[in-house]
């Protein structure tokens, strides 16, 4: 039988990283087995479900390249089927009506657990079982006539012909109920696989309070979809060898449920960031540029930048940019005069000999020949004239021209900046910032 899996989020807010990881694992499983990956929007909670949240789910999936097969199923359209199932359970004695009282809400429908011990095989956790005494009957239809999650979820999975249910660890206990429902409904029980949770440094479920927790946030922070996808894949799973940075095809072909761990995994933003840097570095310039543009567009100085200059800056900075959002430190390339970092100025410019050094450099620099190699040569001459070692003048020059003590090679930086701007800044620094 061919594999059919699904991602069944409820559209009640942003897309949590743990949820999207479940989607990724389902998708990987489907692709590995040449099966189908379906999307079901569990929008029965009318109070909390919103169209915006549905869109957020669609956006997150599209961004990460998790394509679903077939038309998405909206759970709210399945109400008749849910009720039909409840009626049939009522008829054959697997369910009964009762007024649980207390709040005077009237009668609801409860599912009658079989009263026997239960067991199922989890593809990740192995054989799991539970004693009859530890399982209670549960509500499947509220007194207001609406179906509860357990019923709707199982009925929809039957409707969609789901063969494998891959979901978060927090659903393990529900599985006994769901298996009983399948059996009472006379449907074949699917295979189950429960993914370990993603936790924070305290071992608690990873939440928005631990930094970024939603897919949209990672995107805003400048992570690339491929890097996030790859990293998430490594949380609770590994290919079995030392590979980490892998292409999608490699992951698909290596992905099996028996290699998924059952212990919770802690999110490590530093490792994600490192991996992101590897991905950004190998992006075609145009793609890197568009990621940066997206990030910069939020800044007051980041819009309508000179295209040729922008591309040159991207080319220069790409290999040292671990996050798109780090481009916010590139302001000095575009805005004159640059913002001078006080500490850098104190350390490199306000010192004995700085003025003379910069003046010497100024004399050797030729506005008509401003390639990085000729700038390089000019600096070497200045150093020779002053009797200092190679590279000794670089930092002072860097601070004078960019205002910052960090950046790409200063010769390349100046070449990108161009002679007029570089020389103007140098002149300004000599006159105003040295002492």
Partner RNA sequence: GCGCCCAUCGUCUAUCGGUCAGGACAUUAGGUUUUCAUCCUAGUAAGCCGGGUUCGACUCCCGGUGGGCGCGCCA
Q: Which position among 1, 34, 263, 308 is part of the footprint of RNA (CB under 7 A)?
A: 263
Binding pattern to RNA, positions 188-207, x when CB under 7 A? --------xx-x-xxxxx--
The yes or no reply on residue 240 touching RNA (CB under 7 A) is yes
Residue number, 125 or 427, with CB nearest to RNA: 125
Q: Which position among 10, 230, 295, 325 is part of the footprint of RNA (CB under 7 A)?
A: 10
CB of 284 vs RNA, minimal distance in Å = 17
The yes or no reply on residue 123 touching RNA (CB under 7 A) is no
What's the Rg (C-alpha) of the chain?
30
The yes or no reply on residue 116 touching RNA (CB under 7 A) is no
Residue number, 47 or 300, with CB nearest to RNA: 47
Q: 56: closest CA among 47, 46, 43, 45?
A: 43
Choices 81-89, 288-296, 408-416, 426-434; region in contact with RNA by CB under 7 A: 408-416
Residue number, 5 or 412, with CB nearest to RNA: 412
Stretch (H or E) spanning 383: helix 372-386
CB atoms within 10 A of CB 83: 17
Cis bond upstream, residue 224 (ω within 30): no
Using CB under 7 A, count the residues that bind RNA. Answer: 84
CB of 174 vs RNA, minimal distance in Å = 5
DSSP class of residue 237 equals B
Our CA dihedral for 374, 375, 376, 379, rounded to 10 degrees, sits at 120
CB contact at 8 A, 257 and 191:
no
Q: Which position among 274, 347, 364, 381 is part of the footprint of RNA (CB under 7 A)?
A: 274
Bridge partners of residue 139, in order along the sequence: 110
Q: Is 100 a catalytic residue?
A: no
Choices 62-70, 181-189, 258-266, 356-364; region in contact with RNA by CB under 7 A: 258-266
Structure tokens that stand for 173 in this block = 């206990």
The yes or no reply on residue 226 touching RNA (CB under 7 A) is no
Q: Which position among 125, 347, 381, 427 is part of the footprint of RNA (CB under 7 A)?
A: 125
CB of 53 vs RNA, minimal distance in Å = 12
Binding pattern to RNA, positions 359-388, x when CB under 7 A? -------------x---x------------
Looking at the chain, the number of H-run helices and the number of E-run strands are: 18, 12
The yes or no reply on residue 128 touching RNA (CB under 7 A) is yes
Among positions 171-190, residues that touch RNA (CB under 7 A) are 171-174
Q: Is 187 left (phi over 0), alpha (psi -120 to 50) or beta?
A: beta
- Residue 420 DSSP SS3: helix
Burial string for 180-194 (b: 16+ CB within 10 Å, else e) reads bbbebbebeebbbbb
Report residue 412 CA to chain centroid gap: 33
The yes or no reply on residue 350 touching RNA (CB under 7 A) is no
DSSP class of residue 133 equals G
Among positions 79-108, residues that touch RNA (CB under 7 A) are 99-101, 103, 105-108
Q: Which position among 85, 148, 212, 361 is part of the footprint of RNA (CB under 7 A)?
A: 148
The yes or no reply on residue 209 touching RNA (CB under 7 A) is no
The yes or no reply on residue 294 touching RNA (CB under 7 A) is no
Q: How far apart are CA 203 and CA 183, in angstroms?
A: 36
Largest alpha-carbon pair distance within the chain? Answer: 100
The yes or no reply on residue 44 touching RNA (CB under 7 A) is yes
**Catalytic residue selected from 208, 271, 350, 392:** 208
The yes or no reply on residue 246 touching RNA (CB under 7 A) is no
CB of 285 vs RNA, minimal distance in Å = 16
Q: 108: closest CA among 144, 137, 76, 84?
A: 144
CB of 169 vs RNA, minimal distance in Å = 6
The yes or no reply on residue 278 touching RNA (CB under 7 A) is yes
CB of 105 vs RNA, minimal distance in Å = 4
Q: Specify the residue for token string 């529900």.
A: 174
Report residue 362 CA to chain centroid gap: 47
Phi, psi for 20 (deg, rounded to 5): -70, -30
CB of 45 vs RNA, minimal distance in Å = 4
Choices 20-28, 289-297, 304-312, 403-411; region in contact with RNA by CB under 7 A: 403-411
Q: How far apart are CA 108 and CA 99, in angstroms?
A: 6
Catalytic positions: 208
């Amino acid at each position: 039988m061919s594999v059919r899996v699904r991602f069944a989020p409820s559209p009640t807010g942003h897309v949590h990283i743990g949820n999207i990881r479940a989607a990724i694992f389902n998708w990987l499983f489907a692709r590995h087995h040449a099966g189908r990956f379906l999307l079901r929007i569990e929008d029965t909670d009318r109070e909390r479900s919103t169209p915006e949240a549905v869109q957020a789910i669609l956006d997150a999936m599209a961004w990460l390249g998790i394509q679903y097969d077939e038309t998405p199923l909206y759970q709210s359209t399945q109400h008749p089927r849910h009720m039909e199932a409840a009626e049939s359970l009522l008829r054959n004695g697997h369910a009964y009506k009762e007024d649980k009282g207390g709040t005077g809400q009237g009668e609801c429908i409860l599912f009658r657990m079989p009263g026997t011990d239960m067991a199922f095989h989890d593809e990740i956790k192995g054989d799991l079982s539970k004693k009859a005494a530890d399982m209670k009957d549960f509500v499947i239809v509220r007194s207001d006539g609406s179906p509860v999650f357990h019923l709707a979820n199982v009925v929809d999975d039957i409707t969609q012909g789901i063969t494998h249910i891959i979901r978060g660890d927090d659903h393990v206990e529900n599985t006994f109920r769901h298996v009983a429902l399948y059996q009472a409904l006379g449907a074949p029980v699917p295979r189950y696989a429960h993914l370990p949770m993603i936790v924070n440094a305290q071992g608690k479920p990873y939440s928005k309070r631990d930094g970024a927790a939603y897919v949209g946030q990672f995107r805003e922070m400048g992570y690339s979809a491929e890097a996030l996808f790859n990293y998430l894949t490594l949380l609770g799973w590994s290919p079995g060898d030392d590979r980490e940075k892998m292409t999608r095809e490699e992951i698909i072909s290596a992905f099996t449920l028996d290699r998924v761990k059952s212990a919770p995994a802690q999110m490590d933003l530093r490792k994600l960031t490192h991996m992101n840097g590897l991905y950004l570095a190998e992006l075609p310039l145009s793609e890197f540029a568009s990621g940066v543009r997206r990030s910069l567009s939020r800044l007051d100085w980041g819009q309508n930048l000179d295209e040729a200059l922008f591309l040159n800056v991207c080319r220069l900075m790409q290999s040292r940019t671990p996050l798109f959002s780090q481009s916010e430190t590139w302001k000095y390339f575009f805005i004159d005069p640059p913002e001078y970092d006080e500490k850098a100025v104190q350390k490199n410019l306000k010192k004995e000999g700085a003025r003379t050094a910069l003046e010497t450099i100024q004399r050797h620099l030729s506005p008509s020949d401003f390639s990085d190699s000729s700038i390089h040569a000019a600096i070497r001459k200045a150093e020779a004239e002053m009797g200092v070692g190679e590279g000794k003048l670089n930092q002072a020059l860097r601070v004078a021209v960019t205002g910052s003590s960090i950046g790409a090679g200063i010769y390349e930086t100046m070449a990108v900046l161009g002679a007029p701007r570089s020389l103007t800044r140098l002149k300004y620094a000599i006159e105003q910032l040295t002492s």
